[in-house]
Amino acid sequence: MMDMFPPDRSQYPAKKADGTLDIDLTSGKYLKLWQGPNHPGITGNMSVELTVCGDEVVEGKTHVGYLHRGFEKLMERRTFIQVFPIVCRVCVPEPDFNEYCYAACVEELAGIEVPEMAQWIRTLILEMGRINSYMMYLGGQAGALGQGVIGQWTTYARDLMLDRFEELTGARIYHMFILPGGVRDTLPEGFQQRMEETLREIESTLKDVYDVMFCNAVFKARTVGMGVIDPSWLEPYGVTGPNARAASVAKDVRKDAPYLVYDQLDFEPVIGHDSDIYTRADVRRRDIWVSVDLIRQILAKMPKDGAVMAPIPNVLHWQIPRGETYIRGECSRGEYGYYLVTDGSGYPRRINVRGPSYTHAMALLERMIVGINISDVAALMVSLHTYPPEIER
Amino acid sequence: MKPELMKRMVKGPDGLEFEVEPLRDYYCEAPPTVMPAAYGKIVEDLFNWARSESIWILGFGTGCGAIEMRPLMTPRFDAYRYGVQWRPTPRQANLFIISGYLSTKTLKRAIRAYEQMQNPKYVIGLGSCTINGGMYWDSYNTIKRLDDYLPVDLYIAGCMPRPEALLAGFMDLKKLIRAGNGEGANQYAENFAWYKENQKRVIHDWDMPDYNW
Amino acid sequence: MAMKELYARLKALFPLGELTEQRKDLAFVTVPAEHLRATILHLRDKEGFTHLVLLTAVDWLEEGRFQLTYLLNNRQRACDIGLRVMIPRDAATMEGIHDIWPTAATYQRELREMFGIDFPGSPRIEEDFILEGWNDIPPYRRDFDTLKYAQENYSERPGRVTHDPETHMRLQLYPGSKP
């Protein structure tokens, strides 16, 4: 059916001498649309400036900066312990990764050894956060294509996990639980059994989501074959995480460079082969199953008790010798990292947050958005699982 | 200022040349006016009751707080039973929840969305960042007091407030509206010059009309 | 050790500074600015460091220099190498690597806006990236005082008190002095 009407290439913009597109906005052929910050099909507060010709996007430019608070500058004004409450607000839906990476950087430069129980609890929290983030992604991916019921189910499952977070750390969204030196507290009584109930609810939600979303003919028709990331783009564009794993490249920091207790846990990175939107969603769904299994393994293998916090010096006068380091982890979107530079004073010299969406939402999205239909722009953006706060911090 | 927003001559499709000034041509030149109560007390009380029972929120997640608005749309916390819905466009909304800190870039878009909403409209400041800057009190890019720039009817404190706190905030807003105190839009119209001056002081590249209606 | 052998191989080809081994899989080395491009191409093509993790800058105001850090990762051998390039602070400019890694263009845009380091030829380097209508010095520089800027430009809600012990004792011992 589609080849009865071959695309009209005469509408495509010509290229100028230096390779940029020759789009004449006054010619009446092109329209500039802002899929702007106030839009239901955006994963947060960023905008994409689209130039469309009819229904097809000819050029796209990502605009970020709506959530810029100058984190890296604020962190330089605060002592090492004062940085820790603001660090979790860099990434809103999955804040624990920031705390872990920052704490690990400080521990490495200050020479603090984290006790074993704290390592296990940290891994548990990171996996719980990963499930939450993936649940929100599934709701957003289906919602971008018009299927709102998935968002209702996954937000409910996420709420159950947030209850577990509240029980463990005291807050739903911003936990501030992982400190340099360990974690704040140990697991409460009966946590394992309540977590098992939550995991069973999550599994049953996932089965429903699979039946309703992934077996849905409309979802398949709109996402299979769309938004393909060529495997040769992975290294030049710095693509990590499920976006890369869906292109058959098993990039998972938990396996490549194990941190915390991942070398004692038994799992395989989830890989997909056609790197389209459907496969990326499927890789993330299967990753939730892996995380559920990992949480069960952690709770079974974790030591029964132990110290959760290593002794740290007086935080009011904590000075760390000059040095620099980079700690990375695998968050739900890809490789997350913190680069910390200290200069011997009580304040960090420079902290740089490397969020995975930095590379996905800017250069990669602008490359992939050319030639797709307007109605698929939202689905494509959500399928890269970008969270704007970590792009502009 | 971007070149497509400057005043210039354009040639239409039929060859006719005419002058356009995009920031002025398609917008109304009159500033907003105060709208007093149109009817007597009994009818106005009925209207205020109706307004309070159907609060439609603009679905613009301006900051962190947007993440605690999503659970409100699900059956667990269910804001829909209170008559509260989320709408995508400003024309269909009468409550704007500023969910957290506002960078100056978002403030410009928030002002535009707020001015495009129709009267009577209300603003809730969610979180401690709207009250006094919160933990970004020394940041160069976020505003410290929301009510210098937009008329705020209610604040919900927290960082971040739980969904139950938001529901309690909606209850308080309903009481406010029923008592006839939801006058944010009229306050904005009366002190329009003051608000505009504050806004223009922090937004340095002002490339939109003074009043986006 | 893998990093030491790598360093020995690189030092034979390019004039490098000292190697700082942070962990067994992370090392930093200083590279002169004019040899950076050749070093990076060698690392990417011959040594397998194909992943550009980040490109950021550190402002050493006291020394009058910017340190640009290029962090590269070799996934097969699971090691990282950080290349430090020191450039002078006034009229800071550096050669772009956006033709080697297209994603570097974004990092370069951010450095231009936040630090004022120019990368001539980088795509869209002149456009606003994060800030809009910014009229002061690039904000991530050390000589930009963010608290002073915030206090001058944004009005604050009155009522903020500080319970600084030094201020309290000074007011107690010397009543009438400035708070």
Question: Taking residues B76-102, what's their average pLDDT?
Answer: 90
Domain ranges of chain A: 71-354+371-380
Phi, psi of A243 (to 5 degrees): -60, -40
The 10s digit of each residue's pLDDT in A3-14 is 566 655 555 666
The answer to whether residue B29 is domain-embedded is no
Which residue among B133, B141, B201 sits closest to C156, beta carbon to beta carbon? B133
The 10s digit of each residue's pLDDT in A143-155 is 888 888 998 999 9
Neighbours of chain B (3+ CB pairs under 8 A): A, C
Contacts of C129 in chain A (CB under 8 A): 64-65, 392
Question: Taking residues A28-34, what's their average pLDDT?
Answer: 79
Q: DSSP characters for A227-283?
A: SPPPGGGTTTTT--THHHHTTT----HHHHS--TTGGGS-------SS-SHHHHHHH
Q: Which CATH superfamily is domain A71-354+371-380 in?
A: Cytochrome-c3 Hydrogenase, chain B (1.10.645.10)
Sequence-distant (≥ 6) Cβ neighbours of residue A25 within 8 angstroms? A32, A51, B4
**CA–CA distance, A167 with A361 (Å, rounded to integer):** 34
The 10s digit of each residue's pLDDT in B128-167 is 888 888 888 888 988 888 888 999 999 998 888 889 999 9
What is the per-residue pLDDT for A198? 92
**CA–CA distance, B65 with B32 (Å, rounded to integer):** 29
Q: What is the DSSP letter of C82?
A: E
What is the per-residue pLDDT for A20? 65
A282-293 CB burial, b ≥16 within 10 A, e <16:
bbbbbbbebbbe
What is the nearest CA distance from B102 to chain C, expressed in angstroms?
12
What is the nearest CA distance from B1 to chain C, expressed in angstroms?
10
Neighbours of chain A (3+ CB pairs under 8 A): B, C
Burial of A208 (0-12, 13-18, 19+ CB in 10 A): middle
* CA C15 vs CA C29, C35, C71, C81: distances in Å: 11, 8, 18, 16
Sequence-distant (≥ 6) Cβ neighbours of residue B120 within 8 angstroms? B35, B51, B94, B182, B183, B184, B185
> Across chain C, how many H-helices and E-strands are there?
5, 5
What is the nearest CA distance from B41 to chain A, expressed in angstroms?
37
CA nearest to A35, candidates B109, B3, B23? B109
Residue B117 structural domain: 55-202
The 10s digit of each residue's pLDDT in A247-285 is 888 888 888 888 888 888 888 888 888 888 999 999 999
Cβ of A236 within 8 Å of Cβ of C71? The answer is no
At B21, the amino acid letter reads E
Contacts of B113 in chain A (CB under 8 A): 38
What is the ipTM for the molecules in this complex? Answer: 0.87
What is the per-residue pLDDT for A1? 47
What is the per-residue pLDDT for C129? 87
> Which of A24-38, A96-110, B93-107 is predicted least confidently?
A24-38
What is the per-residue pLDDT for B155? 92
Please determine, for residue A296, whether its predicted confidence score (pLDDT) is greater than 90.
yes
Residue C121 structural domain: 2-129
For an interface test with B, the pick among A29, A33, A38 (most B C-beta atoms closer than 10 Å) comes out as: A38
What is the nearest CA distance from B199 to chain C, expressed in angstroms?
10
For an interface test with A, the pick among C23, C44, C52, C53 (most A C-beta atoms closer than 10 Å) comes out as: C53
Cβ of A86 within 8 Å of Cβ of B63? The answer is no
The 10s digit of each residue's pLDDT in A200-256 is 999 999 999 999 999 989 999 888 888 888 888 888 888 888 988 988 888 888 888
The answer to whether residue C145 is domain-embedded is no
Tokens of A324: 């620099």
Instruction: Walk along chain C (179 residues) in steps of 10 and give the mean pLDDT of each run.
Output: 80 84 86 88 88 90 89 88 90 86 89 89 85 87 89 83 80 77
Tokens of B151: 């008329």
The answer to whether residue C166 is domain-embedded is no
Cβ of B144 within 8 Å of Cβ of C131? The answer is no
CATH number at C71 reads 3.30.460.80
**CA–CA distance, C34 with C164 (Å, rounded to integer):** 49
Phi, psi of A178 (to 5 degrees): -95, 110
Question: Taking residues A95-100, what's their average pLDDT?
Answer: 90
Contacts of C136 in chain A (CB under 8 A): none
CA angle C89, C90, C91 (to 5 degrees): 115
Contacts of B143 in chain C (CB under 8 A): 154
Percent of chain A with pLDDT over 70: 93
Can the peptide bond before residue B120 be classed as cis, meaning omega within 30 degrees of 0? yes
What is the per-residue pLDDT for C77? 86
**CA–CA distance, A328 with C51 (Å, rounded to integer):** 13
Output the average pLDDT for chain A.
87
For an interface test with A, the pick among B20, B57, B67, B207 (most A C-beta atoms closer than 10 Å) comes out as: B67
Contacts of C154 in chain B (CB under 8 A): 133, 142-145, 202
Number of domains chain C contains: 1
Phi, psi of A202 (to 5 degrees): -65, -40
Which residue among A70, A237, A257 sits closest to C139, beta carbon to beta carbon? A70
Residues composing chain A:
393
Burial of C69 (0-12, 13-18, 19+ CB in 10 A): buried
Chain A residue with minimal CA distance to B72?
A: A155
What is the per-residue pLDDT for A123? 92
In sequence order, which ranges of chain A are alpha helices (DSSP H)? 71-76, 80-87, 96-110, 116-144, 149-169, 191-209, 217-223, 242-245, 253-256, 277-301, 356-359, 365-368, 377-383, 389-392
Relative to beta strand A31-35, strand A21-22 is unpaired
What is the per-residue pLDDT for C1? 58
Q: Where are the beta strands (DSSP E) in chain C?
A: 19-23, 26-30, 51-60, 65-74, 79-88
What is the nearest CA distance from A350 to chain C, expressed in angstroms?
6
Number of domains chain B contains: 1
Output the average pLDDT for chain B.
86
Question: Taking residues B40-69, what's their average pLDDT?
Answer: 89
Q: Scan residues 52-71 of C and list those with Cβ closer than 8 Å to B.
A: none
Identify the band that residue A294 occupies on the pLDDT scale cut at 50, 70 and 90: very high
What is the nearest CA distance from A71 to chain C, expressed in angstroms?
10
The answer to whether residue C149 is domain-embedded is no
For an interface test with C, the pick among A18, A233, A259, A362 (most C C-beta atoms closer than 10 Å) comes out as: A362
CATH number at B173 reads 3.40.50.12280
What is the nearest CA distance from C142 to chain B, expressed in angstroms?
14
Interface of B with A (CB under 8 A): 4, 10-11, 13, 58-64, 66-68, 70-71, 73-76, 88, 90, 101, 103, 105-106, 109, 113, 135-136, 138-142, 159-160, 162
Output the average pLDDT for chain C.
86
Identify the band that residue A16 occupies on the pLDDT scale cut at 50, 70 and 90: low
Residue with tokens 């603090």: A112
Contacts of A238 in chain C (CB under 8 A): 51-53, 101, 103
What is the nearest CA distance from A186 to chain B, expressed in angstroms?
24
Cβ of C101 within 8 Å of Cβ of A236? The answer is yes
At C62, the amino acid letter reads E
CA nearest to B112, candidates B52, B55, B58? B58
The answer to whether residue C75 is domain-embedded is yes
Please determine, for residue A15, whether its predicted confidence score (pLDDT) is greater than 70.
no
The answer to whether residue C177 is domain-embedded is no
Chain A residue with minimal CA distance to B68?
A: A173
Q: DSSP characters for B147-213?
A: GGTS--SEEE--SS--HHHHHHHHHHHHHHHHTT---HHHHHHHTHHHHHHHHHHH-----S-SS--
For an interface test with B, the pick among A39, A43, A45, A75 (most B C-beta atoms closer than 10 Å) comes out as: A45
CA angle C139, A49, B146 (to 5 degrees): 50
The 10s digit of each residue's pLDDT in A168-200 is 988 888 888 998 888 988 888 889 999 999 999
